[in-house]
Amino acid sequence: MTAPDPSSPRNPYGPAVGDADPSWAVADPGGGAFPGGPFPAGTGGTPPRSGMSHGAVIAIVLGSVAALVLGLGMAGGVALLLWRAGAEAGSDMAWDQSDYTDDGVWEGEVHDASGTVLADTGTWDAPAGVGDSTLVWPTDDGGTVSVVVSDVQWEADAEVAAAAASNRPASDGMHYALVTLDVSYSGQSFVLPYDLLYVSVETDMDIFSSDDELVRPPRPLWAQGGIADGETGSGQVAIEVPDAERAGALIGVSPWNGTTLYVDGR
């Protein structure tokens, strides 16, 4: 018997290419030969196929696409039913388009302690006061969110340092300001004050935001949970402010989809 030549390229389903004597291979009762062992009778030495046919693969793909289309259609139908239910629930759920600005955001207003609207207040040129004014915006569910900036502490480095050991000191020429907010909600849902509100210190030169700081205030606003109808929550944000710009700084407050109202905390 001729031994197989290790240097010869081999057909994995037959004898060595170029071997004159294929008697070294294991014979298949069906008439074929394979070096690794016989195949079932009648296969002619050809290994049986495994896996799915092209038709089966195509059928699975088409079935998956059909299921996806059906799922999207059902989701759209549910969304339409929910929208109609909200529209039919009455004026409490309706959006008053007059509350929008030309830019498509909710128009905020300032109220005094009695609830009277203070016209032309809360602007950059006529900011509201700390503790005696309430900033009010509509919400998407037909309710309102109200914010009182109850305190502003401009040099709060010691308080911020004591709040958490991980808090870094303020940069040279800057101090931490602590802004305390009391947030109330009236409506059919709830709000998360920290997720809803954007709080900043603004000057003629720049805008400094609580989002810029990775510091923990003594009473962080983000620790305040959801506020439901008739409830009030309170918390603080810490903002690093340059000393040279503090004299002309105002506190800016806005919900994510509302106009900015300004408070003079100096």
Smallest Cα–Cα separation from 238: which of 170, 172, 183, 191?
170
pLDDT digits (tens, 9 = 90+) for 23-58: 444 444 444 444 444 444 444 444 444 455 666 667
Question: How much is the pLDDT for 80?
Answer: 39
> What is the value of pTM for the model shown?
0.62
Question: How much is the pLDDT for 83?
Answer: 40
pLDDT digits (tens, 9 = 90+) for 55-105: 666 767 667 766 665 665 565 554 434 444 443 343 333 334 445 444 568
Q: Residue 45: which region, alpha, beta or left (left: phi > 0; alpha: psi -120 to 50)? A: left
- Print burial letters for 190-224: b (CB count within 10 Å at least 16), e (below 16): ebbbbebbbbbbbbeeeebebeebebbbeebbeeb
CB 261, CB 145: distance < 8 Å: no
Pairwise CA distance, residues 116 & 155, whole Å:
33
Give the rounded distance of the alpha carbon of 21 from its chain centre: 71
% residues pLDDT > 70 (the chain): 61
Mean pLDDT in residue range 221-246: 93
Output the six-digit token pair for 232.
């009030």
Give, in degrees to the nearest 5, the angle at Cα 251 between 248 and 252. 120
CA distances from 143 to 45, 118, 158, 188 (A): 78, 20, 38, 7
**DSSP calls for the chain:** -PPP-TTS-B-TTSSBTT-S-GGGSEEPTTS-EETT-PPPTTSTTPPPP-S--HHHHHHHHHHHHHHHHHHHHHHHHHHHHHHHHHHHT-GGG---GGGB-TTSSBPPEEE-TTS-B-TT-SSSSSPEETTT-EEEEE-TTS-EEEEEEEEEES--HHHHHHH-TTPPPPPTTEEEEEEEEEEEEESSSEE-HHHHEEEEEE-SS-EEEGGG-----SSBGGG---EETT-EEEEEEEEEEEGGGGGG-EEEEEETTB--EEEE--
Pairwise CA distance, residues 125 & 262, whole Å:
9
Question: How much is the pLDDT for 64?
Answer: 73
Mean pLDDT in residue range 142-161: 95
